[in-house]
Amino acid sequence: MGDELFREKVFATMLYGFKTIKKPVSVTVHPELMVKIRDQFKGTQVAPLSVGGAEMFFGLPVIEDATKGEDYIAVS
């Protein structure tokens, strides 16, 4: 159940970001959280992808920011 709850929280955060930001341009994630996301979503249709040298998640470029909290994820 823990894995499902983690995925649901990530989905909820991304969907909330898409709802509140008019023209989203990126998703900012703490590097440790991005490792968990890659692991949890591996083999799924929404898994982070490398496209042209940039990592994309939910169609947005990923910016890894170690200065944020370990559970930080935001659409901007």
CA of 75: how far to CAs of 2, 43, 50, in Å? 23, 23, 18
Question: Predicted confidence band at 26 (pLDDT cuts at 50, 70, 90)?
Answer: very high
Please, are residues 46 and 58 in contact by the beta-carbon 8 Å criterion? yes
SS3 46: coil
**What is the rounded (10 degree) CA torsion for 16, 8, 38, 3?**
160
Residue 19, pLDDT > 60, answer: yes
Reported as a pLDDT band with limits 50, 70 and 90, residue 3 is: confident
Closest CA to 58 of 71, 70, 72, 76: 76
Question: Quick one: average pLDDT of 15-20?
Answer: 96
Q: pTM here?
A: 0.91
Tell me which amino acid residue 25 is: V
| pLDDT for residue 1 is more than 70 | no
Mean pLDDT of the chain: 94
Specify the DSSP class assigned to residue 76.
-
